[in-house]
Amino acid sequence: MWGSELFGALLAIFDKRIIQYLHSLSGFGGEFMTILETVCRDLDAVRSRRPLVHNITNYVVMNETANAILCIGALPIMAHAKEEVEEMVSAADALVLNIGTLSTDWIDAMEIAGRRANEKSIPVILDPVGAGATSFRTNSCLRLLESVKVSIIRANAGEAAALVGISSEVKGVESIAASQSPEGIAKSCAAEFGCAAAITGKIDVVSDGIRTARISNGDAMLGRVVGTGCMSTAIVGCFAGVNADSFMAAVDGLMAFGIAGEIAAEASGDKPGTFHVELYNALGALSSNDIRSRARLDITA
């Protein structure tokens, strides 16, 4: 009996997830563990403090991002009228600006809200959807970055490259190619705009110009549902509402969202509609245990 119990215990130790977890620790030791525990702590803080996240976002994803914010444990508000955004953002813990279905009036509202957020020391997260696809989109983002102190830019590689003049190809809102690596683009964005840059893709990269993190969580199914990039920005906004370290808030949000995507894909299989629902379920049920067992993170100075 003792031998079979020992054998069972050894099998548990070498469970696939634990092997992945131990592998991810290789070479990072205490720093990795510190960041991992910060992600867990901040997830608990989102659930206990319920930060209010003010979104000026696009028509396509308003429902999706509001649900994602609510499921992770924060509170969403979607308000874009110029007449009320100053008052609304004054009560918020974070402001998310997403230009997906932009118009001049909406950019005006974003600028008004962003300036008030700066006055109140409220973090501002920018999602430059489709930057590089048209000059109007690129110039609108640059206008916001000039007039508003942005804490975090969350973009794909093509969008972020367009903001700093790096050659890239953006088709609609999708990044097709960029002439530099995501790490190089993230560092360039961080240096140019004095913020944390979170570049999402097969591997997510976050940099504040000093620290750089590579997050290998996520699943291909995230690319088969409209709005998951915008959802990830909104989740980053939730964590920015509880952690003033913009680099860490971006790591928090992208890791949490990527792990939720993995869990959702395991539950849904190859069914995008089911995956959409399971993503909300996974965000709602996400635990510190999930973070500790699934995190795949590389950190460099």
Residue 176 confidence (pLDDT) above 60: no
Q: How far apart are CA 182 and CA 192, in angstroms?
A: 15
Is the model more confident about 83 or about 15?
Answer: 83
| Local confidence band at 30 (pLDDT 50, 70, 90 cut-offs) | low
The answer to whether residues 158 and 189 touch, using CB atoms and an 8 Å cutoff, is no
Residue 300 pLDDT class (50, 70, 90 cuts): confident
Quick one: pLDDT at residue 166?
Answer: 85
Per the CB < 8 A criterion, the answer to whether 262 and 219 are in contact is yes
**What are the tokens at 243?**
């952690």
Give the model's confidence band at 177: pLDDT under 50 very low, under 70 low, under 90 confident, else very high.
very low
What average pLDDT does this structure show over 108-125?
Answer: 98
Give the Cβ contact number of residue 80 at 10 Å.
21
Q: Look at residue 27 and tell me whether its pLDDT is greater than 50.
A: no
- pLDDT, one tens digit per residue, over 235-280 is 999 999 999 999 999 999 999 999 999 999 999 999 999 999 999 9
User: Residue 32 has what pLDDT?
Assistant: 79
Domain spanning 23-300 has what CATH number?
A: 3.40.1190.20
d(CA 198, CA 241) in angstroms, rounded, equals 16
pLDDT 10s digits, 189-226:
999 999 999 999 999 999 999 999 999 999 999 999 99
pLDDT for position 35: 92
CA 170 remoteness from chain centre: 20
Buried b (16+ CB within 10 A) or exposed e, 130-151: bbbbeeebbebbbebbeebebb
pLDDT value at position 15?
A: 47
CA distances from 197 to 10, 37, 125, 152, 251 (A): 41, 22, 10, 6, 10
Considering the entire predicted model, what is its pTM? 0.88
Is 61 a residue whose pLDDT tops 80? yes
Q: What's the confidence (pLDDT) of residue 264?
A: 98
Q: What is the C-alpha separation between 107 and 231, in angstroms, rounded? A: 20
pLDDT higher than threshold 80 for residue 2: no
Other C-beta atoms closer than 10 Å to the C-beta of 75 total: 17
pLDDT higher than threshold 70 for residue 158:
yes
Q: Which pLDDT score is estimated for 170? A: 54
